[in-house]
Amino acid sequence: MDEPVDSDESAPGHQSQAERVRETMAGQILRAELRPGEIVIESELAREYGVSKTPVREALQTLAIEGLVTVLPRKGYLIRSLSFSDIRDVMDLRLIIEPRLLRSTALNSTPALVEELRTILREQFRDDASLDEQLVAANAFHLACIRASRNARAVSIVAMLSYEVQRLHYLLPVVGGHVTSPPERHAHSAIVDAIAAGDAAEAETRMREHLTETSAAMVKAFYEAGSIPDLP
Query: Strands 39-40, 76-79: parallel, antiparallel or unpaired by DSSP?
Result: antiparallel
Question: What are 165-194's pLDDT values in tens digits?
Answer: 888 888 877 777 888 999 999 999 999 999
What dihedral do alpha carbons 13, 16, 21, 22 form, nearest 10°?
-70
Q: What is residue 230's predicted lDDT score, i.e. its pLDDT? A: 44
Contacts 24+ apart (CB under 8 A), 128-137: 129/180, 131/169, 131/170, 131/176, 131/179, 132/31, 134/179, 134/180, 135/166, 135/169, 135/179
Q: Residue 19 — very low, low, confident or very high, per pLDDT cuts 50/70/90?
A: very high
20 vs 25: CA distance, rounded Å: 9
Alpha carbons within 13 angstroms on the beta-carbon side of residue 191 total 32
**Is it the case that residue 228 has pLDDT exceeding 60?**
no
Contact of 81 with 231, CB cutoff 8 Å: yes
For the chain, give the mean pLDDT. 88
Contact of 120 with 140, CB cutoff 8 Å: yes
**Is it the case that residue 203 has pLDDT exceeding 70?**
yes
Question: Right CATH number for 17-79 from 1.10.10.10, 2.40.50.140, 3.40.1000.10, 1.10.287.70?
Answer: 1.10.10.10
Question: What are 110-140's pLDDT values in tens digits?
Answer: 999 999 999 999 999 999 999 889 999 999 9
Q: What is residue 168's predicted lDDT score, i.e. its pLDDT? A: 83
Contact of 112 with 128, CB cutoff 8 Å: no
192 vs 116: CA distance, rounded Å: 10
Q: What is residue 4's predicted lDDT score, i.e. its pLDDT? A: 43
Which of 126, 101, 102, 231 has its CA nearest to residue 179?
126
**Is it the case that residue 227 has pLDDT exceeding 80?**
no
Length in residues, the chain: 232
Question: What are 150-163's pLDDT values in tens digits?
Answer: 999 999 999 988 88
Highest mean pLDDT among 50-59, 158-167, 219-228: 50-59
Q: What is residue 96's predicted lDDT score, i.e. its pLDDT? A: 96
Domain ranges of the chain: 17-79, 84-225
Domain spanning 84-225, CATH class: mainly alpha
**Is it the case that residue 1 has pLDDT exceeding 70?**
no
**Is it the case that residue 24 has pLDDT exceeding 70?**
yes
Q: Residue 206 — very low, low, confident or very high, per pLDDT cuts 50/70/90?
A: very high
